[in-house]
Amino acid sequence: MTQTLISRGTAAVFRTETRLFGRELGSLFWIVAFPVVLVCVLGFVPTFRDVDPDLGGLRVIDIYVPIGILLSMIMASIMAMPPVVFGYREAGVLRRLQTTPVRPLTLLGAQVVLHGAAVAASTVLLLVVGRLLFQTPLPQAPGWYALAYLLALLATFGLGAIVTAVAPNARVGTAIGMVVFFPSMFTAGVWFPVQGMGGLLQQIVELTPLGAASQALYQAMAGGVPDLAHLLVMVGWVIITFGVASRTFRWQ
Amino acid sequence: MTTEASSPAVLVEGLRKTYGAKVAVDDVSLAVEPGEIFGILGPNGAGKTTTVESIAGLRVGDAGRVRIHGLDPWTERDAVVRVLGIQLQESALQPKIAVREALELWTAFYDDPVPWQDLADQLGLTEHLDRRFGMLSGGQQQRLSIALALVGRPRVAILDELSTGLDPRARREVWQIVRNLRATGVTILLVTHSMEEAQQLCDRIAIIDRGRVRALGTPEELVRSGSAATITTFEVSAAPDLEALRALDGVVDARLEQGQVVVEGAEDVVLSVLGALAAQQVAPRRLRVVAGSLDTAYLDLTDDTSAKADAS
Is B88's Cβ below 8 Å from some Cβ in A?
Answer: yes
For residues B17 and B162, the model is more confident at B17
- Among B222, B244, B271, where does a domain finish? B222
A9 close contact with B: CB closer than 8 A: yes
**pLDDT value, residue A2:** 47
Chain B neighbors of A9, CB-CB under 8 A: 108-109
Torsion of CA B214, B217, B222, B225, to 10 degrees: -80
Range of the domain at B28: 10-222
Mean pLDDT, residues A214-228: 92
Interatomic CA distance for residues B72 and B83, integer angstroms: 12
Chain B contact probe: residue of A89, A90, A99 with most B CBs at under 10 A: A99
In this complex, which of B56, B88, B109 lies closest to A92 when CB atoms are compared?
B88
DSSP B208: E
B156 and B275 within one domain: no
CATH number of the domain enclosing B191: 3.40.50.300
Same domain, B131 and B186: yes
| Residue B93 and residue B19 share a domain | yes
| Residue A102 included in any domain | yes
- Separation in Å, CA of A111 to nearest CA in chain B: 12
Q: How many CB atoms lie within 10 A of CB A48?
A: 17
- For A85, nearest residue in chain B (alpha carbons): B94
Dihedral class, residue B160 (left if φ above 0, else alpha if ψ from -120 to 50, else beta): beta
Residue B312: inside a domain: no
Q: Across the interface, do A99 and B86 touch by the CB < 8 Å criterion?
A: yes
Task: Tell me whether residue B274 is in a domain.
Answer: yes
Query: To probe the interface with B, which of A96, A103, A107, A111 has the most B CB atoms within 10 Å?
Result: A96
Among B91, B107, B158, the residue to mutate for chain A (most A Cβ within 10 A)? B91
Q: How many domains does chain B have?
A: 2
Amino acid identity of A181? F
Say if A30 falls within a structural domain: yes
- Please count the structural domains in chain A: 1
Host domain of residue A58 = 9-248
pLDDT digits (tens, 9 = 90+) for A44-78: 888 888 887 777 778 889 999 999 999 999 999 99
Q: How many CA atoms lie within 13 A of A150 on its CB side?
A: 6
Specify if B304 maps to a domain.
no
Cβ-contact A119, A68 below 8 angstroms: no
Backbone angle region of B165, left / alpha / beta, with phi > 0 → left and psi within -120 to 50 → alpha: left
Predicted confidence (pLDDT) at residue B35 exceeds the cutoff of 70: yes
Judged against a pLDDT cut of 70, whether residue A3 lies above it is answered with no
Q: Is the predicted pLDDT of residue B3 greater than 70, yes or no?
A: no
Separation between Cα atoms, residue A166 and residue B62, nearest integer Å: 26
List, for residues B179-201, the tens digit of each pLDDT value.
988 998 999 999 988 888 888 89
**Binary contact (A16, B57; C-beta < 8 A):** no
Residues B67 and B211 grouped into a single domain: yes
* Sequential DSSP letters for A71-126: HHHHIIIIIIHHHHHHHHHHHTHHHHHHTSSS-HHHHHHHHHHHHHHHHHHHHHHH
Distance (Å, whole) CA B159 – CA B145: 10
| Nearest C-alpha in A relative to B100 | A16
